[in-house]
A and B are shown apart, each in its own frame.
Chain A
């Protein structure tokens, strides 16, 4: 087990290096341009100068190595210095990863976006898991009951309607007609007392609902089908025959074995929280990591996109290792080879 994790972690290093290079290569080959969104009245020669000032006149590999050095050495050192106060080497002269659009350190931009992303996307994700487990289990256990039929219907509607539609529908109903919730998310709100907490909850309700609906729909479907498979397995019959309580059978044995696809989805989904929810964030102006990423992509802000995507990649690799460990926990027969 320990050697398995260690080996996986070691393999992760070259994997991530390759991934980071592929990402950089794609970003560099993409035809969008950091000066593309400037007003057309700015003449092309000036645009060329702006591109040069961003370092785009250097060859691709030079910029890649520069980014790699900044990401792997300079940024961690800066983080260390900020947290411990110890000065290591030439801390002033170390160039941080700087965004093209804002000309500010990428890491600070990311840190600024974390709170609202965790509040909205994170909470929605958690709620999605909490809701989908009982619904999935009951739907499967009482297959083709009214509960199952309604659950199937609602979850599929939830999945087939895109968030740009459900989000807007909520704004029109609850924001414009009923005036219950604000349609503009205030990222500067600091929760410090009961009143601000209520405000925070109010502004979270609509985006969180939209995202939870979408996440829960998917998880419910997978859990339900997996439960159905397991309910017909021999070990269930054996357990029942042994006289174990039905509740223990369902919630203990069957659910545990059915969680494998769900764990996979959850493990894939947690890095997704970090990626933000681009469309939902846009509709409610949550301006979290998703909005940061999409603006950066549209503006061809390579350092920002590269850093965000790479952190995302690290999380994916890491959580996939966790998922593999979790498989072994859920089903001890799965061996690590």
Chain B
């Protein structure tokens, strides 16, 4: 595990702002078109809440813009080399920096860290970062500033708990009575957590606006440069972009998923800059390996119907899956829907760079002719209406995704290309709260996948893809036995893939892990279990008067707000 301790950027920020004083730059306006609903990241409703909270509460270590782990409330990141991680990989020991204080002036101790762990792992708390604590057997305070986390099995990547914006440290004194079912009664704490970060909450209006002021007890003497900040929510992405790029009413706007030509037109006004950062998110088409025919009733989209295998009538044929992928021009999808915020991708694991495979790059070139030939050779011949069929099975696809104008644009283009290879497509878009929801009564969830093809984006937290890649093993198949909550949405099943996943979980050496992960990715890609389309970046905009903004896809975008300043 190689960890570069890049503090260069931080030092640079401190250096350039060396002359600045805390609070000298006045006020900064941040615009998120989804408003923050709570400032407790463990009960958050999504990225917006976590990022709004990241101004206040901080983890032990953060990820920088390249995905490297950076010490934050500690002096160094524990590794096997420095003895912080046990040689048998079953524990990790963190040591807090000296002299850390909460914004109320009281000292930060190991008890706070231990408490935060208990808080999230409590059975009744409904903590949404629970996955980070997977495999944690105990968290104990060795002394006032040392915390030892023990795992129940060797953990090759032990940087789950307390690394990154999703698992910051809460103050024990403030949250002691809020554990478990009591989390609901702690509105005041959830709306104004006490933290170690550069800002302190002065007013919180749920789903509307948060106002902050500089933390007088912040550990860097001349930071933050801004005396006050607001975090305003509401509206849509296009108008958020307009407020920064055209009217200059806001200094920073988040997640501007807007058609690229609209954004370009706004940038031309000269008031702001668009910044992007690429994490692990890949927009992909999922292929249903099971038959989703409505006439199957309760056996719809299950691997077995009445005890017999229930394969998809035509997607079970790899030639069809391959042809669907070949017909797509990913360059054009990127140009039209994403612009700078996307790159064509042939891998479902496109980042971090070390893990990205190059074996599948052939998909970057659209090949309609080749796709047509492939289908001809496989016996799928055009029928009377131009739609290909074989043994009376026509290539008619129901293609679903969530409602979002860029996604509907992609759907329209893909439909057009598939028409050129004799595939008839019916489009469907579903409200995001339904599509990504888990209501077992709804036929429209992405987990049930009552369609032939579906499209969405997924990635993983942090920089280690082990859990992500394990999502396509046989026993993860999403079906009625697990309430449609499995992560193997295509319901692909290959024992060879399962074996690789098992091997990965017991391999520690970085190079070996990379090799296994690449092999897994290539296996999925060569079988066309999923059809990756676009490696999606986060795209935000900041005012040209703002300095020090460093986009980061691996942590909160506002991770270094302490170093922001006004030109």
Return chain B residues, CB-CB under 8 Å to A51.
126, 438
What's the minimum C-beta distance from B540 to chain A, rounded to whole angstroms?
17
- Asked whether A33 lies within 8 Å of B438 as measured between CB atoms, the reply is yes
What's the minimum C-beta distance from B72 to chain A, rounded to whole angstroms?
21
Task: State the total of A-B contacts with C-beta under 8 angstroms.
Answer: 197
Return chain A residues, CB-CB under 8 Å to B124.
52-53
Return chain A residues, CB-CB under 8 Å to B186.
103
Stretch at the interface among B7-15, B231-239, B355-363, B554-562: B231-239
Given contacts A103-B183, A103-B184, A112-B206, contact A41 B435 (CB under 8 A): no
Point out which of A41, A101, A108, A286 has the most chain B C-beta atoms below 10 A from its C-beta: A41
Q: Is B162 an interface residue (CB 8 A)?
A: no
Return chain B residues, CB-CB under 8 Å to A284.
235
Q: Is A40 an interface residue (CB 8 A)?
A: yes
Q: Is A1 an interface residue (CB 8 A)?
A: no
- Asked whether B439 lies within 8 Å of A31 as measured between CB atoms, the reply is yes
Could you show 13 A-B contacts with beta carbons less than 8 Å apart?
A: A36-B436, A41-B460, A46-B128, A47-B128, A49-B130, A102-B190, A183-B243, A183-B249, A187-B205, A283-B235, A287-B35, A298-B433, A299-B37
Return chain B residues, CB-CB under 8 Å to A135.
none
Q: How many A residues, CB 8 Å from partner? A: 59
Chain A residues within 8 Å of B, Cβ to Cβ: 29, 31-33, 35-54, 98-99, 101-105, 108-109, 112-113, 168, 171, 175-176, 179, 182-184, 186-188, 281-287, 291-292, 295, 298-300
Q: Which 6 A-B pairs have the closest CB atoms?
A: A33-B437, A53-B126, A31-B442, A44-B485, A36-B437, A32-B433
Return chain B residues, CB-CB under 8 Å to A35.
128, 437-438
Q: Is B117 an interface residue (CB 8 A)?
A: no
Within 8 A of A (CB), among B422-480: 431-439, 441-445, 447, 456-461, 467
- Asked whether A101 lies within 8 Å of B38 as measured between CB atoms, the reply is yes
Nearest chain A residue, comparing its CB with the CB of B235: A285
| Alpha-carbon distance between A108 and B245 when the two chains are bound, in angstroms | 35
Within 8 A of A (CB), among B124-180: 124-131
What's the minimum C-beta distance from A308 to chain B, rounded to whole angstroms?
13
| Alpha-carbon distance between A10 and B247 when the two chains are bound, in angstroms | 54
Given contacts A31-B442, A44-B447, A50-B128, contact A101 B37 (CB under 8 A): yes
Stretch at the interface among B41-49, B305-313, B386-394, B503-511: B41-49
Q: Is B320 an interface residue (CB 8 A)?
A: no
What's the minimum C-beta distance from B216 to chain A, rounded to whole angstroms?
22
| Alpha-carbon distance between A33 and B140 when the two chains are bound, in angstroms | 36
Q: Is B209 an interface residue (CB 8 A)?
A: yes
Return chain A residues, CB-CB under 8 Å to B45.
37-38, 101, 299
What's the minimum C-beta distance from B465 to chain A, rounded to whole angstroms?
11
- Asked whether A31 lies within 8 Å of B444 as measured between CB atoms, the reply is yes
Within 8 A of A (CB), among B211-237: 211, 230, 232-236
- Asked whether B247 lies within 8 Å of A299 as measured between CB atoms, the reply is no
Q: Is B250 an interface residue (CB 8 A)?
A: yes
| Alpha-carbon distance between A43 and B127 when the two chains are bound, in angstroms | 12
Return chain B residues, CB-CB under 8 Å to A99.
206
- Asked whether B433 lies within 8 Å of A36 as measured between CB atoms, the reply is yes
| Alpha-carbon distance between A70 and B236 when the two chains are bound, in angstroms | 34
Known pairs A37-B436, A46-B128, A187-B205. 5 more at Cβ < 8 A?
A: A39-B47, A49-B127, A53-B126, A109-B206, A171-B239
- Asked whether A292 lies within 8 Å of B207 as measured between CB atoms, the reply is yes
What's the minimum C-beta distance from B455 to chain A, rounded to whole angstroms?
13
Nearest chain B residue, comparing its CB with the CB of A104: B187
- Asked whether A299 lies within 8 Å of B433 as measured between CB atoms, the reply is yes
| Alpha-carbon distance between A292 and B206 when the two chains are bound, in angstroms | 9
| Alpha-carbon distance between A282 and B237 when the two chains are bound, in angstroms | 11
Nearest chain B residue, comparing its CB with the CB of A40: B458
Q: Is B246 an interface residue (CB 8 A)?
A: yes
| Alpha-carbon distance between A99 and B184 when the two chains are bound, in angstroms | 9
